[in-house]
Amino acid sequence: KSPSPAAAEAKSEAAKSVKIGIYFATWWALNVVFNIYNKKVLNAYPYPWLTSTLSLACGSLMMLVSWATKIAEPPKINLEFWKALFPVAVAHTIGHVAATVSMSKVAVSFTHIIKSGEPAFSVIVSRFLLGERFPPAVYLSLVPIIGGCGLAALTELNFNMTGFMGAMISNLAFVFRNIFSKKGMKGKSVSGMNYYACLSMLSLLILTPFAIAVEGAHMWAAGWKEAVSEIGPQFIWWVAAQSIFYHLYNQVSYMSLDEISPLTFSVGNTMKRISVIVSSIIIFRTPVQPINALGAAIAILGTFLYSQAKA
């Protein structure tokens, strides 16, 4: 006997939830590994412009090889696509390099606490630049987000202005990336995986000249020698790991965007930050004062209230 339509629907809903659960778990796990290796590399080799460039280069190379070997189907795209992608790539590049500069100056947990304030930036930009209006509950949810991030920043033991501003700039840039990418994706039939691949390639082209101008080959070579003599030859594997995992976590997050709403995505992203904050505090033995942890908890609670208010 064939199952009733209601039973079949419940089954497909359950299968979808399992699939999204797997995407989320993979995304968070890959992100934790990226954050740990990225910080290990930055501690020994403080050149965030180069490490951000290498992450994009590695992802671009992985995708070019996947297309050439038909592991992944190459996308059918034209000049219009690249033009629409350009502002997204500029915002992605700024957000990426700013977050990496931030992590080179402060604890990973601190960068991610400030990055959990991204919804506040989203509301402010949407309200003042796009004229969007929100229900009062959305504005109210900004109070714990901003207050919690503020408290965490004020009580951070190793506060550093560049580290703080890098995370703030990253928040702002990623809000624009999300706004532009919503516009750019409209009516396009490019999968999340290929969309992210093209984004990496264009961002790589944008970032490379700036990385050379800000840091440059001379500094990179001298720093590399020092890092290898301090860490040993396995240093190159740390760099490879941070680059590969950066691409993989972003690829999985863009793939999950195909399946879920932007709102579910932002809840998932906040939960991801909790796993990064907790695991990095344990691994790097980051000192945290109770009041500092309270600030982080309030900010994260605020982002949940925000998602409830928006839903």
In the complex, least distance from residue 115 CB atom to ligand 3PG, rounded to whole angstroms = 6
Q: Given candidates 100, 122, 194, 243, which one binds ligand 3PG under the rule CB under 6 A? A: 100
CB 267, CB 304: distance < 8 Å? yes
Nearest residue (CB) to ligand 3PG, 40 versus 115: 115
Which CB, 230 or 258, lies closer to ligand 3PG?
258
From candidates 33, 56, 94, 99, binder to ligand 3PG by CB under 6 A:
99
Minimum distance, C-beta of residue 154 to ligand 3PG, in the bound complex (Å) = 23
**Other Cβ atoms within 10 Å of 125 Cβ, number:** 17
Distance of CA 135 to the CA centre of its chain: 27
Determine the residue type at 43.
N
DSSP state, residue 3: P
Which residue type occupies 219? M
Here's the x/- map for ligand 3PG, 68-97, by CB under 6 A: it reads as: ----------------------------x-
Tell me whether residue 85 or residue 91 sits nearer to ligand 3PG (CB atom).
91
Q: How far is the CB of 52 from ligand 3PG (least distance, A)?
A: 6
115 lines the binding site for ligand 3PG (CB under 6 A):
yes
- Residue corresponding to tokens 């059918």: 76
Give me the DSSP letters along 162-201: HHHHHHHHHHHHHHHHHHHHHHHHTT----HHHHHHHHHH
Q: Which residues make Cβ contacts (< 8 Å) with residue 127, sequence separation at least 6?
A: 133, 134
Greatest alpha-carbon pair distance for the chain in Å reads 73
Task: Specify the residue, 269 or 292, whose C-beta has the smaller distance to ligand 3PG.
Answer: 269
Kindly state whether residue 247 participates in binding ligand 3PG, applying the rule CB under 6 A: no
Give the position of tokens 């070019």: 64
Q: Does 39 bind ligand 3PG (CB under 6 A)?
A: no
The 143-182 contact track toward ligand 3PG, x by CB under 6 A, reads -------------------------------x--------
What is the spatial distance between Cα 269 and Cα 31, in angstroms, rounded to a whole number? Answer: 10
> What residues line the site for ligand 3PG (CB under 6 A)?
96, 99-100, 115, 174
